[in-house]
Every structure is written in structure tokens, then in C-alpha cells.
Amino acid sequence: MLRNKTQKELIHLSRQLIQPLLPNFHKGQAGKICIIGGNEDYTGAPFFSGHSAALVGADLSHIICEKQAAPIIKTYSPDLMVHPYLIDLENPILKIDEEELNRLKNLSIEEILENNNGVLNKVIDELILPKIQGLLTKMDIIVVGPGFGRDPLMLKSLVRILEEIKVLNKPVILDADALYLLSIQPKIVAGYKKAIITPNIVEFQRIAKKLEIPIDISKHYSQDVMIDQTQEVSQKLGDIIIFRKGEHDIIGNSKSIVINSYPGSNKRVGGQGDTLTGAIATLTNWSNNYLDKLWDNKVELDVTDAHLLACFAASSLVRSASGKAFKKYGRSMQTSNIHEFLHDAFLELFDDSIFRLSNI
């Protein structure tokens, strides 16, 4: 249904998914978003994801991060709720003796993930999961990966967190370091239809290689070939949605594809992908509310098309905001400048009528 529509038609159609702000709605109904990521070295990524989700229109934006990252992220904005529930291998509260710590550090990530390590499992079971589980049950959609890092305990925790998300049957978006984990263990989301992955060119190649699909990023592929590659990866992952970032975003699963060539910025900045992930989270959650008829709306899209359209809308929104930021700031543009223009881009694209009672 979506493949043959123009960009303008897709934007118009996506307005159906924009959740109105009705007087009878209570706090949380426009979205409870949870971002899981952030360590001592990378605090900006989860902030940009959570802040973007909030600016696009989510009611509540939570960040679950590593303990040492939390005080830093809290200084960025009082609007986000920050939970220091993750622990890395270097944290002194673990009291792991030096010999054991060195042994764990010398193991490969593959060995850490596959090994039923009693020390790490005990930490996850007793110190990490009990705090995270209660929060996850309250969330509408979860983003995992921004600023997560490659610490062995963090990645092993992420595997267990993803298992918990699947048990709770919650929508999940994998980005950044979660995609590195996926390239090592594709089974973590294979076949889970509520998962969306958002690889860039390098991340996509890494995942494809693990799935034995030959891709060489040094080669120039036609768009048709890239579509075929994307659909093959989706098929091997059990038909989950892939948001393949690039000059033109390719969004789809093994059966349906949408291409976004909406103009954006000539500059690429660190954090722009995290902004996109937050926007995807809010709009995908609204697409689920649309499907559940949370407001007085007709349902004219099936689940797959609603989710693809939400991803397309998020892509268009961030591209438009990036273009506006670049026009003002040029080469000095930063991700925080993109956030300045998210609302203007939203109004321009979706012609938002806050209290509309039905679909366009």
C-alpha cells in the first residue's frame, strides 16, 4: 500500500497517526518512553533520545543508565527521569577480586555472552534486574542501546533486559551498541515482531555478515539492490522492521518497503541518530494507540503499514529539523540545534491541530 505513494502522500497519510491532545486524556496516554543506555563515557546519546521523544510529544521520558552516568545526564534537563540502575564491570560496589576481574576482562564479548558466568549472573539477578523490571512494566515502548558501550557486564545485562522486554511483550527499538550486540547474537530479537532495528551503513554490514549476507560498504549499490539486501536481512531476523539509515532511508521488512528521500542537512553530527531514535519511539507508540483506537479515529492501516509510516514520519521530522538547523548554523550545527527546530518541523509537516477529534 505504501510503496507506490509519493513523499507528499506519505506525509499526509502519516497525519492519521498524530495523537491529539484531548481534554479527557490523562498524563501518560501520549507515551511513556524508556531509553536504556548511557555510561560514564557516553552521556549525550541517551539524553538526545529521551529529549527528542519528549519534544516530539511523549508525556513521560525515562532514562535507565549506568550509575556513574546518571548525575551527568540529570544536569542536562530536569524534564527527564533518570534511573541509575545499570552497573559496569569497573564499579567498585561489585567487590570483584582483581584476579577474577582481570579474567573477565580478558574474555571476548562472545565468551562473556555464551558463558554461564556465576559472578555476572549474580550481579544481574540481584542488583540490576529487580530495579529495572518494575519500571519496564509501566512503559509503552523501550529504546535500547544509545551510549550503552561495550562493557561485558553491561552487554550481558542487555541480553537479559531484552529477554524481559519480550516476556512483557513490549515494543522495542534497538540502536547503537544494541546493534553491535545483535551482530554477535542475532537470536536476541529474531522473530520478535515488536522489534525495530535502526542500523547505519557500518552496523547494517556487520549484522548482514553475521547472517551470511555478503555486503561491502566500499561498493556502490543501486537502490533496488539495497532494498533486496534489507528485505533479506529482515527475513533472516524473522521479518522484523529495519530502518536502514543512509542518504535515502530504507524502512521495511521482508514484505513491505518505504523509501524516505526527504531533504535534510548536508552535515552529519554525532547524536543525530539518537534524536531520530527518540522520534521513532514516540511516533511508533502513537501508531499503536492509533491501532487501538485511543481517540475517535478510523483504523485504515494494518499493523505493519502503521509502524512503517511512523518510522517514515520520524525520519521526515528529523530530516526537516536538521535542514532548518543547518540553514541557520551551517558547519557549526550540533545535535542540540536540531532539537531547537523539532517543533517547527512538526507543525510544518503534520499541520498539527492539537484538539482534533478525528482523522484527516
pLDDT of residue 352: 75
- The fourth-level CATH superfamily of domain 27-283 is Ribokinase (3.40.1190.20)
pLDDT of residue 360: 41
**Domain residue extents for the chain:** 27-283
Q: What is the pLDDT of residues 27-65, one digit of tens each?
A: 999 999 999 999 999 999 999 999 999 999 999 999 999
Mean pLDDT of 210-233: 96
Cβ neighbours of residue 338 closer than 8 Å, sequence gap 6 or more: 265, 269, 272, 275, 318, 321, 322, 325
pLDDT of residue 117: 73
Distance in angstroms (rounded) separating the CA atoms of residues 194 and 200: 20
Given a contact cutoff of 8 angstroms between Cβ atoms, the answer to whether 69 and 43 are in contact is: yes
pLDDT of residue 359: 44
pLDDT of residue 103: 87
Q: What is the pLDDT of residues 1-37, one digit of tens each?
A: 798 999 999 999 999 999 999 999 999 999 999 999 9
Q: Lowest mean pLDDT of 3-7, 109-113, 276-280, name the range.
A: 109-113
Mean pLDDT of 182-190: 97
Q: What is the pLDDT of residues 163-182, one digit of tens each?
A: 999 999 999 999 999 999 99
CA 229 to chain centre: 21
pLDDT of residue 355: 60
pLDDT of residue 115: 76
pTM of this prediction? 0.97
**What ranges in 15-149 are assigned the alpha helix state H?**
44-56, 70-76, 98-106, 109-114, 118-123, 129-136
pLDDT of residue 306: 98
Q: In degrees rounded to 5, what are phi and psi of residue 172?
A: -140, 140
Three cell numbers written together for 23:
481534554
pLDDT of residue 179: 98
Distance in angstroms (rounded) separating the CA atoms of residues 219 and 215: 8
pLDDT of residue 225: 97
Average model confidence (pLDDT) across the chain = 95
Q: Apex CA 84: angle with CA 83 and CA 90, to 5°?
A: 165
- Partner residues linked to 258 by β-bridges: 251
Q: In degrees rounded to 5, what are phi and psi of residue 259?
A: -110, 135
